[in-house]
Structure 1
């Protein structure tokens, strides 16, 4: 009778230790890409949205292995995650709320003052910013380009 009780207690302690080791983080970018491998060139296996909580398991360099609430698991770059809880409120006195894109920009320091400064210095033209947001690349072409240049991707920004 004593051995089964000890085995149960040990299993319970291990379960608690594993649960304590996992931490919860919040996505701090508008569209968080969850990748199959810890590399910006890894296949995208899921998406996380601004403010969404994810469970973080292991970490490898600048990458964290995350599990989304729906069960999708993969790697996200640490720059897209924060340990703080993100408020998804537009605050008081605002009309109509704010978009997820605006919340993500605010979370990265893009405030009304920064926007006004950019508008002044660029004549109010956001066409260049809009064009950059529309840029898409084919991962296979990018890998070929890197290979031709003798560059070996290492999986994250330094």
Structure 2
């Protein structure tokens, strides 16, 4: 009788452990426009987008990349720097503790913090035209691969 109870407890623990292990981890997108890619590489084809604060289910992790599913059924890879385990909330007016203002979102989207913005304003007179112009530049993954190949640079991660 005792061995049956022990076997039952072990079987139950195994089932619970397995269920926990295969359960998807939920994370939030921490960037303005999160790119979901076909392969775990910045050169992978973009198959979808996820917006700031949106929840994604993490199915697998490979190095600095997470395989995710986004609402709507889009599945692909996102870089770990675009994800956070915390819940994110946006503020529509006065900033509440832990929320993000619209100005902070705009700065973060350009890669700035308040300190970096202040320094940039001091040294460039507050002119963000060059930053705005850089945001408009884009290259196809094929063009980037050709550039890397010409310079004999080996991409890291899934872009090999």
1:140 aligns with 2:152: no
1:74 aligns with 2:79: no
Distance 1:67 1:148 in 2: 35
Q: 1:1-158 residue pairs with structure 2 within 5 A?
A: 13=16, 14-19=18-23, 22-92=24-94, 98=102, 101-102=105-106, 105=108, 110-111=113-114, 113-155=115-157
Q: What's the secondary structure of 1:37's corresponding residue?
A: coil
Give the structure-2-normalised TM-score: 0.75
Gaps of 5+ in 1: 1-5
RMSD: 2.9
Gaps of 5+ in 2: 1-7
Q: How many aligned positions are there?
A: 142
The runs of at least 4 consecutive aligned structure 1 residues that moved more than 2 Å come to: 12-17, 90-94, 97-102, 113-117
Q: CA deviation at 1:61?
A: 0.5
